[in-house]
Every structure is written in C-alpha cells, then in structure tokens.
C-alpha cells in the first residue's frame, strides 16, 4: 500500500493519477474528504492531519511506501509522519525536498528542508530524496495582479531559473515508488528551460493573446506578495525575500538532466503548462 501525503496539492493530484494508472494499491492522506473529490475513486481516503499525530496511526496502518510532502516551515509535520511510518513498518519513503538544499550557504527555506531530510535519514527507513527547483504552478500566484491590474510584480529582474511542471515531479515520484533501485538516491529536478520572470510572462501573454505588463517590485512586502498574494508569516516572508535575492543574483538558474534520464523524455515545457492552464489567466468575458 502506498500512502500519498499532500494528495490534494499540485504534485499530489498528478501523483495520485499516475499511481492509479499503474493500478498501485493507493491511500490518500486528506484533511478534508471534499478536497479529494475528483481524485481517483479507487484510491482509499484516510482523513488525518500532519499537525495532529494521533490522526496518523490509522492512516499509516498497512502502509509500506510513503510519499512525504510537508508544507510551510518547520519540521514538526515531518517528525510526526516519520514517527507514524516507523510504527507502521514503512519500507521506503519518497521525500519531497528542495533544490535549495544544494546551495551554499543554505538560505532559510533550504535549512528547513535540510532539517527535514535529516529527520528522514535518521529514521533508518530507506529513502529517496526529490529536490525540485521552482514550480511552474508558482505562476498561478500572479493571478490576483494579472486579473485585477493586468500586471505581474517582478522581484528577480535578470535572475533566471528552470521552472518544473509538478506533473514531472509526480511522474518521477511514481516511477520511484513503483520501481526498484532508487533507495538512497537524491534527485535534483528542474525543467528543461531557464527563464526570467519577464520571459515567463511573455509566454503567458502569447498563450492568452493579451499583453501583460511586468513591474519591478519596490518593497519587500510586494516581493512576498509575488509568492503569497495574501501575505505570509514573518519567518516565511523573510525566507521568501532571501530566496528572491538569491534568484536575482542568478544563483539558481541551472538545469539538470535528471527528469529526462529517469523518464526517458524531455521535461514538459512552460509553453505546454501555459496552454493547459490558459483559462485561469483569462479575465471573464475577455481574452
């Protein structure tokens, strides 16, 4: 039995479909059953919360493989999941980390991921670490300014990165969860093309047939709203601001061939992602 955490998120939804297509025995950890509507019916639902360890025992019962994704900051949720995994006798963990753990010095965001990796390693359970760079779905964070003011706030200027489609992360996770020989491996996952924010916005504009303006951010608060339109706790806001400094300095603009090596095909392109998500960027009644 494979247990998928984060099943209702960007990666989890795609992973659930990938594993369903492989007919893998599958259980989804969800906080709210309604959020899992639309996910494959064949997958069991276990209602639980990583912030409430007592809810995890039944969810982990009979599980031998775990896809572990924790959101936000801190390590409590990882520790709770690992405790439940040890108690259940899980034999393999595929842990979602971040490319940022490869940076030296490590930014705050990477330190949380690094500490989570350490908890996974210390568990003694064989694990595979997936370390993706920035997601293509982060572009959805620009929707409020695009839909309200037809512009995107740009905190990174000339900095480039190689956004990855979460569907590719899910495809790698499914391969690792259902294949052999991935224990102890660390996979740094990126898309196949590097972009500035301006270049990404140009592709969105071309996809929907409407020019979208790019405005350089002028305050740290504006920079945070680039990723968290509704704001973020101070520690997360500080980490995000630090991350943008690194991106602006072009420290994360590299690509790996890991997705292609593992999947035997090129990573999905940002133009393809935009085509699949074009409706989200269109204003009602207009392009």
Ligand X SMILES: NC(=O)c1ccc[n+]([C@@H]2O[C@H](COP(=O)([O-])OP(=O)(O)OC[C@H]3O[C@@H](n4cnc5c(N)ncnc54)[C@H](OP(=O)(O)O)[C@@H]3O)[C@@H](O)[C@H]2O)c1
Footprint on this chain of ligand X (rule: CB under 6 A) = 5-12, 29, 31-32, 35, 49-51, 69-71, 77, 96, 98, 132, 134-135, 138, 166
CB of 71 to ligand X, least distance (A): 4
Nearer to ligand X, 234 or 286 (CB): 234
Nearer to ligand X, 149 or 233 (CB): 233
CB of 3 to ligand X, least distance (A): 11
CB of 283 to ligand X, least distance (A): 24
Nearer to ligand X, 9 or 220 (CB): 9
Measured CA to CA, the distance from residue 190 to residue 259 in angstroms comes to: 7
Q: What is the dihedral of CA 234, 130, 13, 8, to 10 degrees?
A: -30
Q: What residue is closest to ligand X based on CB?
A: 9
CB of 5 to ligand X, least distance (A): 6
CB of 153 to ligand X, least distance (A): 17
CA distances to 85, 95, 176, 207 from 266, rounded to whole Å, are 34, 23, 18, 21
Question: Two tokens at 21?
Answer: 């297509």
Closest CA to 84 of 60, 48, 64: 60
Cα 52 off chain centre by: 22
Measured CA to CA, the distance from residue 193 to residue 177 in angstroms comes to: 27
Nearer to ligand X, 20 or 210 (CB): 20
Nearer to ligand X, 146 or 163 (CB): 163
Measured CA to CA, the distance from residue 167 to residue 173 in angstroms comes to: 10
């Amino acid at each position: 039995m494979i247990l998928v955490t984060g099943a209702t998120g960007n990666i989890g939804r795609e992973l659930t479909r990938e594993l369903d297509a492989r007919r893998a025995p599958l259980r989804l950890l969800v906080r709210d059953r309604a959020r899992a509507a639309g996910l494959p019916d064949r997958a069991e639902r276990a209602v639980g919360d990583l912030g409430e360890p007592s809810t995890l025992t039944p969810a982990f019962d009979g599980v031998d493989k775990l896809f572990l994704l924790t959101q936000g900051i801190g390590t409590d949720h990882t520790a709770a999941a690992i405790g439940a995994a040890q108690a259940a006798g899980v034999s393999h963990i595929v842990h979602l980390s971040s490319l940022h753990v490869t940076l030296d010095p490590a930014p705050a965001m990477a330190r949380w991921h690094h500490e989570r990796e350490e908890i996974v390693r210390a568990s003694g359970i064989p694990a595979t670490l997936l370390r993706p760079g920035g997601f293509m779905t982060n572009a959805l964070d620009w929707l409020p300014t695009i839909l309200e003011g037809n512009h995107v706030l740009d905190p990174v200027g000339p900095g480039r990165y190689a956004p990855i489609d979460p569907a590719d992360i899910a495809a790698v996770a499914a391969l690792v969860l259902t294949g052999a020989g991935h224990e102890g491996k660390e996979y740094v996952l990126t898309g196949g093309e590097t972009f500035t924010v301006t270049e990404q916005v140009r592709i969105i504009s071309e996809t929907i047939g409407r020019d979208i303006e790019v405005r350089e951010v002028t305050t740290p608060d504006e920079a945070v709203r680039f990723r968290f339109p509704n704001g973020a706790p101070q520690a997360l806001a500080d980490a995000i601001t630090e991350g943008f400094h690194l991106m602006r300095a072009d420290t994360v603009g590299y690509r790996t061939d890991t997705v292609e090596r593992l999947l035997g095909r090129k990573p999905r392109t940002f133009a393809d992602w935009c085509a699949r998500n074009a409706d989200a960027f269109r204003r009602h009644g207009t392009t």
